[in-house]
Amino acid sequence: MNRLVIVALALSIILVAAQVLTATAQPRSSFVAVRNHQFYLNGSPYYYVGTNYWYGSLLGLEKDDWKGIQRLRKELDFLKANGVTNLRLMAGAEGVGMINGVIRVRPPLQPRQGEFDVWVLDGLDLALSEMAKRDMKAVIFLSNNWEWSGGFQQYLDWNGLVPEGMRTRKLTWDEQRDIVSKFYGCEPCKAGYDKQVSLILGRVNRYNKRKYMDDPTIMAWELANEPRPMRPSAADAYRRWVADVAAKIKARDKNHLVTIGHEGYMGTEDLKLYEEIHADKNVDYLTIHIWPKNWGWFTGHAVSAGFGNVLEKTLSYINQHLPVAERLGKPLVIEEFGLPRDGHSFDPTSPTSLRDAYYARILSFVEQHAAANGHIAGLNFWAFGGTARPLKGQTFWKAGDSYMGDPPMEEQGLNTVFDSDESTWKVIRAVGKNLSRGKAANN
């Protein structure tokens, strides 16, 4: 065999090998990964502006296309055009009827313990399929510490750990803490949660025929929305539960990231515990949530009078958790934050000057870290309400109303950003479109 033939064969082998490697690697490249302290997507650092869009997984279940699929498509187009590319979605609700004094979101994925209405996942299928067409990523929370979607309290109710007189009435804060803290020591409750998680992970999308576990549109599985131990006595069981669930998901799904869905110090009242659970090898990144109103950083409806304190405490809270991410060498996402409109109004026509200033300050953290390849990798503001609007004279959600960013137990319009809030979108768009083009990360 002469030298030319040998060279030609060698080149052919190299070419075939390259093609095989490309074909093998290409599908995985579109999954979001973590390298050191950064998210990576398609070989480049991934910094993002996102929103909470929990009801997006319910829109596809609406019988009226204009309230359902057409609304979903219109809102996704709007978000994409404004540089919002990462959406935090609810996987499914548990239980039916009143709970803790409110009507929970519906329809439930698990109406009765261990029984699933799997057609409910058609809504999540549609959202993921439409997001894929727009190169968007999803973070999906698998249950809830809070009652508005059933969550942990519903599992406890199913297993006889909620007293008869407390199943539907509004609980005091101490009652709620006492009850929900039992979840982590309730074996049938945890088994029921595991069964729901297993169902979701094994789902095949009816629209694109792709297994959820093989879908790069999904960025991360989140153990729950704001899982808290609720009482210090539950901390050890809580720590074990986080580690156990994260390990189970990772063992089954090698493609996707896993995070906890944590608020930070306010979720544990113990920064050491927050660091310990995020140090787990199966937890890929850290999250924090920031709630000035809920945490009493301003008094009553006096948003303006307390705004200086809100800014000061927000910056302090972020800077309290950033060193934890730096020590662990993992990304940090500011996953929830919100502020009422000026004057604490629920009217979509009222001004949002304070909210706009607040958003601008938090957005600047992500923009600065993107420019410096830092640890703060993204944010999801709370929450997008799209084309929905509060009903005049009605404060809380009722069955049949359009969903918006505020869950049923909150005043409708309290923290929602509507598609008509142009001054807020101007602030979001300035950073979101910059990051989506990758400019800040490549400076």
Q: Which tokens sit at 196?
A: 């729901």
Q: Which domain holds residue 400?
A: 48-442
442 pLDDT exceeds 60?
no
**Does 7 fall in a domain?**
no
pLDDT of residue 272 exceeding 80, the answer is yes
How many CB atoms lie under 10 A from the CB of residue 337? 22
Q: How many domains does the chain have?
A: 1
User: What pLDDT, in 10s, does the model give residues 319-372?
Assistant: 999 999 999 999 999 999 999 999 999 999 999 999 999 999 999 999 999 999
Strands laid side by side in the 38-41 sheet: 33-35, 38-41, 44-45
Res 14: pLDDT: 41
Reference 348, options 423, 298, 407; nearest CA is: 423
Residue 223 inside a domain? The answer is yes
pLDDT single digits (tens) 309-318:
999 999 999 9
Could you tell me if residue 155 is inside a domain? yes
Instruction: For residues 237-250, give the mean pLDDT.
Output: 98
| DSSP characters over 234-284 | GHHHHHHHHHHHHHHHHHH-SSSEEE----SHHHHS-HHHHHHHHTSTT--
Task: Output the pLDDT for position 370.
Answer: 97
Per-residue pLDDT tens over the stretch 194-211: 999 999 999 999 999 999
**Segment 15-60, tens digit of pLDDT:** 434 443 433 333 445 999 999 999 999 999 999 999 999 999 999 9
> Is 16 part of any domain?
no
**What CATH code is carried by the domain that includes residue 399?**
3.20.20.80
First to last CA, the chain: 52
What does the pLDDT look like over 138-163, one tens digit per residue? 999 999 999 999 999 999 999 999 99
pLDDT score at 29: 52
Does residue 193 carry a pLDDT above 50? yes
Q: Is the pLDDT of residue 118 over 50?
A: yes
In this predicted structure, the answer to whether residue 254 has a pLDDT above a threshold of 80 is yes
**SS3 of 386, please?**
strand
pLDDT band at residue 436 under the 50/70/90 scheme = confident
Is residue 390 domain-resident? yes
Q: Kindly list the strands in the beta sheet with 137-141, ordered across the sheet, starting from the edge strand earlier in the chain.
A: 257-259, 218-222, 137-141, 86-90, 48-52, 376-381, 332-337, 286-290
d(CA 95, CA 332): 32
Instruction: State the pLDDT at residue 437.
Output: 78
Is residue 250 assigned to a domain?
yes
What is the average pLDDT score of the chain? 93
| Model pTM score | 0.92
